[in-house]
Amino acid sequence: MAVRVAAVSDVHGNVHALRAVLAAVEAASVDLIVAGGDVAAGPMPVETIEVLRSVSSRARFVRGNADRSMVEVFDGEREAADWDGWPAGQLSRADRDFLAGFALTVELDVDGLGRTCFCHAVPTSDELTVTAATPEDVVLEALAGTEAGLVVVGHTHMQFDRRVGGWRMVNAGSVGLPYADRPGAYWALLGPDVSLRRTDYDFEAAADAFRATGFPQREVFARHVVQPVTAEEATAVFERRAGR
């Protein structure tokens, strides 16, 4: 059965943004929520997991590179970094198991859009970077891991909707830490078409709450919530780092 889906990606422990988006999702009367990964690596990891767990009966979860890293840090399999060490240290065993249960991809039949692959970065990797400016040959190779005509991603925290070859690739953006021209919680509504959405919340109150946590990058995170880096600036950085 085809479903109407809310794609909610890259929350990064911003529970304030997540709650605002979930209220908007509720008003949109979707059938299913797909969380696109990187949910907890940020200032309020446990609170964010609690909210996501509360909607898990009508949600599917995709694994992001940060989710994977937090589980590895929790398990002692890798050395912690500033962005994942402290959040991983806040987790209970149940929280760790929740993150470890995420899938690399989720495929669904979406109303009006057909077979759709939801992944964090690309179907075969949770960390390969694709932006709106990535050359088509790179995108075609990256999408070869699925037969779904529509691929919905996150990872780079920037919304886009582009067609390459026989595929349509949509980035839902980031709920908690977007690269955009103005602050907000960014997500996507899918079915019967693609609608890229932005939801407001109290940015200053959220920033103050983040500053009160022990997250090592809390000040940078708080500033970004109020005044994000633009998509244009972030795209240039990502493409340069990829050597493109």
- Domain positions in the chain: 5-241
**CA neighbor of 67 nearest in space, from 98, 101, 37, 103:** 37
Give 150-209 as a DSSP string.
EEEE-SS---EEEEETTEEEEE---SSS--SSS--EEEEEESSSEEEEEE---HHHHHHH
- What are 195's strand-pairing partners? 189
What pTM did the predictor assign?
A: 0.97
pLDDT by 10s per residue, the chain, length 244:
789 999 999 999 999 999 999 999 999 999 999 999 999 999 999 999 999 999 999 999 999 999 999 999 999 999 988 888 999 999 999 999 999 999 999 999 999 999 999 999 999 999 999 999 999 999 999 998 899 999 999 999 999 999 999 999 999 999 999 999 999 999 999 999 999 999 999 999 999 999 999 999 999 999 999 999 999 999 999 999 999 9
Cβ atoms 151, 119 nearer than 8 A = yes
Cβ atoms 91, 85 nearer than 8 A = no
At 43 the pLDDT is: 98
At 202 the pLDDT is: 98
Pick among 1.20.1250.20, 3.40.640.10, 3.60.21.10, 1.20.1290.10: CATH of 5-241: 3.60.21.10
Kindly tell me the sign of the dihedral angle through the C-alpha atoms of 55, 38, 170, 18: positive
Residue 186 main-chain phi, psi, to 5 deg: -100, 140
Distance CA 54, CA 48 (A): 10
**CA neighbor of 152 nearest in space, from 168, 166, 130, 135:** 168
Q: What angle do CA 67, 19, 115 make, to 5 degrees?
A: 60
DSSP 39: -
At 241 the pLDDT is: 93
At 68 the pLDDT is: 97
At 82 the pLDDT is: 85
- Residue 132 tokens, joined: 């709106």
Distance CA 61, CA 101 (A): 8
- Residue 90 tokens, joined: 């806040």
At 2 the pLDDT is: 84
